[in-house]
Amino acid sequence: MEVLYNSTRSKKNPVKASEAILKGLSEDGGLFVPDRIPALDKTLEELSEMTYGQVAYEVMKLYLTDFTEEELKECIAKAYDEKFDTEEIAPMVEAEGAYYLELFHGATIAFKDMALSILPHLLTTSAKKNHVSNEIVILTATSGDTGKAALAGFADVKGTRIIVFYPKNGVSKIQEKQMVTQKGKNTYVVGIHGNFDDAQTGVKQIFGDKELAAYMDEKGFQFSSANSINIGRLVPQIVYYVYSYVKLLKEERILSGEKINVVVPTGNFGNILAAFYAKQMGLPIHRLICASNENKVLFDFFQSGTYNRNREFVLTSSPSMDILISSNLERLIYRISGNDSEKNGELMAALSNGGAYTITDEMKNQLVDFYGNYADEQETAKTIHDLYERTGYVIDTHTAVASCVYGKYKEETKDTKTTVIASTASPYKFTRSVINAINCQYDAMEDFELVDELSRLSGVEVPKAIEEIRKAPVLHDHICDKTQMKQMVMEFLGI
C-alpha cells in the first residue's frame, strides 16, 4: 500500500516519497511525515538471516513506495559498499552488559554517514522519477561534521554538485583538514569570515532567493538541501535499529519478541525518532532513552512538558549535540497531537516567537515510551575513563553521554532488559577529549600525535578516514566574506 507524505503544518495535498525527498521541507515550513507508519512485513526470524543491505531494502521499501525494487536496491548497493570499513556496516560490541551499536564505520567515521551515503542516490533517483533534468546543487552550512559527511556522500555522484560553507575560524583543525582535502570534481568548500550562524543565514538567504532560483532553472540547476529533516535521511536510520535487533536474535542473545531498550545520544532528534519509528513498525522496543549533554532542553521537556530554548547555549565536548532547537522533534509533536497540523503549527509558532511551548497533558501521556536524562562534562569524561579502565573499550564523547545516561536509567528503574546504545562517532573523531578523559597528560601533544597515542591505548587501528587526511593535499582554498556567498555559488556554477 502506498505511503504518502503530509506536512506537519497544513493539510495540503500529500506528496509521494520521491517528491518529499526532492523538496526536503514543505513549502509551509513543515516537515514531511508518512501518513501511516508501515508494519514490518517480514518476520524477525526472516530478517535475522539477512545482510545489512537486505534489511535496508525490507525497511525502506515500506516507506519509499514509489521507488521500484530495482531503483531502491541500486541506491542501497551504491551506498553501503567499500566506503564502510566493515562488511557488517553497523557492527555491535558488547561492554559491561550493554551492546554498543557502532554507527561510525563509514567515510567520515560518524553516524551521519549512515544516511548521507544513501541520500545522494535517493535524491538523483527522485529527480529522475519526477522528470527533473536540472543538475541538483546541494548547499550546506556546517559547523564541522555534517559538511564533511555530505561532501563524502555527494562526491562524484552524477547529476549533483555540492557546495559547503564553514566558519573559517569556527571548526577544529582536523575537521577543516577533512573538508579542504575532499576529492571529487563536483565538490566546493568555502571558509567564510563569520561564525556558523552567519554561514547558516547566508545559505538560507540563497535558498529563499526566488530570482536566483529562476535564473538557475534557466541555466539547468536547482538547489536542494541535505539537512537532517529530509525524510531521505530519516528512513535509512530506521534500518540499523531493525538490524541490531535481529542480530541479537540471531546470536541468541535475546528471544524472539523479547523487548530491548535503545539509548540514543541526541541533538536534532533525528536518530532517536528513527528508533521510535522502528518501534511503531513492530520492532520489540521497550524504552527509548534520550540522552542529552548540558544543553538539556529535551530532558527538561520530557520532565515538564515544556520545551524552552531560552537558556544559555553551552559549548561541550560533544559538539554535535550542542543544539537548542531539535528540529525533528516536530514530527513527534505532530504525532502526539493526533496528527493535528493546526495544533502543531500553533506550538511551532510559539517556539519561533517566544522560544517555548507547552504540550497538553493528553499529549504528554503519549510520551511514556521515552525516558530523558543528561550527562554533564565531568560525568561524560568519567564514563569514558571508567569504561576504558574496566574493559579496554574506548568510546567517543557523544556515545559516553549515552552510556552515562543509561547508567542513570538503570539505577533509577532497576530495568535489566537487554540494551542497545547507539555509538555515533569513532573516538578518533574526538581524539583530544577522549584521550584527556582517559589520562590528562596529553595536553601538549599535536592532534596527529594524539591519534597514534590513542591507537596504542585502545589497540584499535587508526581509521582510514584519519590516515588519509594526514598527508592529503589541500584541494580547496576559497575564503570569502559572509556577504559574498551568493557570488561564490554563481561563480562555481559558471552562471
268 vs 373, beta carbon nearer ligand PLP: 268
Smallest gap from residue 488 Cβ to ligand PLP (A)? 26
Catalytic residue ranges: 112
Query: Residue 429 has what DSSP assignment?
Result: G
CA distances in angstroms from 418 to 8, 94, 343, 356, listed in the order given:
34, 11, 37, 36
Task: Check binding of 269 to ligand PLP (CB under 6 A).
Answer: yes
272 vs 485, beta carbon nearer ligand PLP: 272
3-class secondary-structure state, position 182: coil
Smallest gap from residue 494 Cβ to ligand PLP (A)? 33
Helix (H) or strand (E) holding 13: none
18 vs 228, beta carbon nearer ligand PLP: 228
323 vs 489, beta carbon nearer ligand PLP: 323
Out of 106, 153, 267, 372, the residue judged to bind ligand PLP by CB under 6 A:
267
Length of the chain, please?
495
> Residues 172-211: x/- map of binding to ligand PLP (CB under 6 A)?
----------------------------------------
Binding range to ligand PLP, per CB under 6 A, among 105-113, 293-301, 435-443, 469-477: 105-113
- Residues in a beta bridge with 308: 356
3-class secondary-structure state, position 135: strand
16 vs 429, beta carbon nearer ligand PLP: 429
Out of 7, 26, 125, 266, the residue judged to bind ligand PLP by CB under 6 A:
266
Task: Check binding of 270 to ligand PLP (CB under 6 A).
Answer: yes
112 vs 121, beta carbon nearer ligand PLP: 112
Residues 272-331 that bind ligand PLP (CB under 6 A): 320-321
Binding range to ligand PLP, per CB under 6 A, among 89-97, 260-268, 405-413, 435-443: 260-268
Smallest gap from residue 426 Cβ to ligand PLP (A)? 9
Out of 71, 113, 135, 145, the residue judged to bind ligand PLP by CB under 6 A:
145
Strands of 390-439, DSSP E:
419-423
Smallest gap from residue 321 Cβ to ligand PLP (A)? 5
Number of helical H runs and strand E runs in the chain: 22, 15
Q: Please work out the total of residues on this chain that contact ligand PLP, with binding judged by CB under 6 A.
A: 17
As a whole number of angstroms, the distance between CA 185 and CA 155 comes to: 7
As a whole number of angstroms, the distance between CA 119 and CA 112 comes to: 11
Binding range to ligand PLP, per CB under 6 A, among 10-18, 110-118, 130-138, 368-376: 110-118
> Residues 57-96: x/- map of binding to ligand PLP (CB under 6 A)?
----------------------------------------
**SS3 per-residue string spanning 213-250:** HHHHHHCCEEEECCCCCCHHHHHHHHHHHHHHHHHHHH
Binding range to ligand PLP, per CB under 6 A, among 36-44, 265-273, 293-301, 468-476: 265-273
| Long-range pairs for 48-54: beta carbons < 8 A, 24 or more residues apart | 48/246, 48/247, 48/249, 48/250, 49/250, 50/246, 51/87, 52/80, 52/88, 52/89, 52/90, 52/239, 52/240, 52/243, 53/77, 53/80, 53/89
As a whole number of angstroms, the distance between CA 459 and CA 275 comes to: 31
Angle at 322 between CA 275 and CA 402, to 5 degrees: 45
Task: Check binding of 112 to ligand PLP (CB under 6 A).
Answer: yes
111 vs 221, beta carbon nearer ligand PLP: 111
Contact at 8 Å (CB) between 277 and 268? no
Phi and psi, residue 280, nearest 5°: -65, -25
Binding range to ligand PLP, per CB under 6 A, among 215-223, 266-274, 296-304, 478-486: 266-274
> Residues 208-247: x/- map of binding to ligand PLP (CB under 6 A)?
--------------------x-------------------
110 vs 469, beta carbon nearer ligand PLP: 110
Q: 208: which residues sit within 8 A by CB, 6+ positions away?
A: none
Task: Please identify which residue in the block is written with the cell numbers 551499536.
Answer: 101
Residues 370-429 that bind ligand PLP (CB under 6 A): 398, 424-425
Neighbours of 473 (CB within 10 A): 7
Q: 458: which residues sit within 8 A by CB, 6+ positions away?
A: 388, 392, 393, 394, 427
**Residues of the shown chain interacting with ligand PLP in the complex, contacts defined by CB under 6 A:** 110-112, 145, 228, 265-271, 320-321, 398, 424-425
